[in-house]
Structures are given as structure tokens and as C-alpha cells.
Amino acid sequence: MKNIALVMGGFSGEHQISINSGCQVYESLDKSKYNVYKIVVGKLTDNKIDRQKWYWLTDDDQHHPVDRADFTVIDNGEKIHFDLAFIIIHGNPGENGVLQGYFDLLDIKYTTCGFYTSSLTFNKGYCNAVVRSYHIVKVAKSRLFYKGEPIDTKSIISRLRLPLFVKPASGGSSVATTKVKRAEDLMPAIEEAFTEDDAVLIEEFIQGREFDCGVMKIKGKKFVFPITEIIPLGDHEFFDYAAKYDGFSNEVTPAEVDADIAEEIQDVSSKLYDLLNCRGVVRFDYIYNEERKRLTFLEVNTIPGQSAESIVPKQARAMGISTSQLYEMIIQDALEN
């Protein structure tokens, strides 16, 4: 049987989210077909992540070290080499191309986009510039700043206007993301975003409905999933961390929207998947302004959540693909290609 490393954890604020998601994925994988190992990258202790400690997490919650020189573990005295890395790390180093480059060097196959695509799309500022150059969808106006660079908040507000969003340029799950409504709150929001990343994206606010669309290509056949509408609940004005993980949102799949809007979102997602040279399962996020009838690109997630309750598995089920079938398709395609 093939040895599959289900790679989770990582170095960002999404470390525990990734482990939770990875453990749920583990339960869905067919153990009669594969030897599946839960491999955690980085160890969280006292709210700090030790990047040097990678371990195999057993079913009885034992931790066994991973040899990072060749990405192997010892199981009952036998050295286990992996045929495939199923990457479920959100953020650094799983979504930014670092792990992909590492696995390329070791000649280990993996389930995600390659190094270049992962690196480009993970930085929202760079990705926005590239997507804007394709002229197939509007991209929000924004400014990209690096730590240590002087920041003129008055100039930012004059150009982008309030309210606006401040977020780490390379991050996910809306960690350290703030919707800023008052001028005096802009710098504190920037400082918070810098705690998560060395680059910060400040982006104009666009009124509208939020839609997500998953895309994957398996054995040359492209699957463009039904779209999902994200509806934050209560005091949550956008799809923030609590809305994502604490139940403060409705995720309607398929979205209750006019067919021509759904088709536009699916068409743009399909084109971006190819233009950005994506692999595996990818999710594209948008805002649609009904008054202007305008679709705006938000971001691309090259490692979207993969638990049964995540958006992409729900979209797959809406088109008749079960969660276990989805993972089987992903694994087989990565092993064969």
C-alpha cells in the first residue's frame, strides 16, 4: 500500500485549525487502501511554535519525531518513506510554496499547487497585481506595505476612503484582519497585522455579497463547483475568524443567486485556475455588488479547508461527490501525475 503523509500544523496562527482539519480529513481517508500518517509540522507549546520539531501524531496521541533530512518516520523499527504528501497546512509553510519546494527537492509528490503558484498566490498584494493584469475580473484597490516602511495614514484614507480592510499580505482565516471605520483605528490595525506577517495589505471596502467557488482538475477533467454565499451573522460584518470557526455565518450552497451571476463566477474561477497554473483543489473568493452588477476578486486559497463542514467539500457534495470520494480523487490524481 502507498504511504500517505497527511501534513498539518504549520507556523502561523492557523496551526491548531490545520491540525483540527487534518484530523477530520484523516477519519475520511480509506485506510484499507493507504497507510496514512498524521504528520505535524511545528510543535505548539505555551502559545509558541517550535519550527524545528516535526512529529508523527499517532492515534493514541503519541508524538514520534520526523527526520526532516528525508521526511521519514520510524514505525515499529521500520523506516517509512512517503509516496505522497497530502498538505492541509493553511499558511506558512504549506500554502506559500515552502513545503512544495522542500518536497520537490526530495522528489515526493504532493496534492497542491506547485512552488511558484503557491508562492505567488499566497501574497495577496502580488496575486492581486497579476490577476488585475488578466483583465477578466475587477480587483479591489489596495496598498502593500512592508515592516519598517513609513506609512502615511492620511494619504491611505484619502486614496482608499473609509471603511477599509487591513490584513496580513500573506495569511488566512482572517487572522489579524480588521475592518477599519475610523481614522484613529487605522494604525493600530496595521500594527496588529504586522504581528502576523512582515507585509500588510490595506484594501478598499466593497459593498456586496461574498461568494466562493471551488475548482479542481482531475486527470485532465476540470470540475467547477457550485458557488457558496457567505452570510455573516450578528455583529460580524465580514467573514472574520469567529464567523469562519465559531458558527457566526451562514454558508449557503448552492448560493441562491441569479444563474447569470453564478455562471460569471464559475467562468472567472475556471479561467483563473488555468491562468495561475493551479493544481489540486483551489477556492476563489469574490464580492458581487448588485447595484453596479460588478464582480470583484478577493483572493485565491490554494489549500482551502478540507473538513467535511468546510466550503469546498460542501460544494463537491452539492454536485454529487462525497467527501471521501473527493479525497480519493485528489490522492489518485496526485499519485498518477
Report the predicted TM-score, pTM, of the whole model to 2 decimal places: 0.89
> Do the bridges between strand 209-218 and strand 221-224 make them parallel or antiparallel, or are there none, so unpaired?
antiparallel
- Tell me the β-bridge partners of 56: 39, 64
Half-sphere exposure of 295 (CA within 13 A, CB side): 22
- Residue identified by cell 514520534 is 64
Q: What pLDDT shows up at residue 243?
A: 44
Assigned CATH for 142-204: 3.30.1490.20
Q: What pLDDT shows up at residue 241?
A: 45
pLDDT tens, residue order, the chain (337 aa): 999 999 999 998 889 989 988 998 999 999 999 999 999 999 999 889 999 999 999 999 999 999 999 999 999 999 999 999 999 998 899 999 999 999 999 999 999 999 999 999 999 889 999 999 999 999 999 999 998 888 999 999 988 899 999 998 876 546 778 999 999 999 999 999 998 888 899 999 999 999 999 999 999 999 999 999 999 876 545 444 444 445 567 899 999 999 999 999 999 999 999 999 999 999 999 999 999 999 999 999 999 988 778 899 999 999 999 999 999 999 999 999 8
Which amino acid, residue 6? L
Going from N- to C-terminal start, the domains of the chain cover 2-110, 119-138+208-336, 142-204
Coil, strand or helix: which one is 98? helix
- Residue identified by cell 470520494 is 325
Q: What pLDDT shows up at residue 64?
A: 97
Assigned CATH for 119-138+208-336: 3.30.470.20
Q: Do 28 and 308 touch, CB atoms closer than 8 A?
A: yes
What is the C-alpha separation between 323 and 28, in angstroms, rounded? 7
CATH class of 2-110: alpha beta
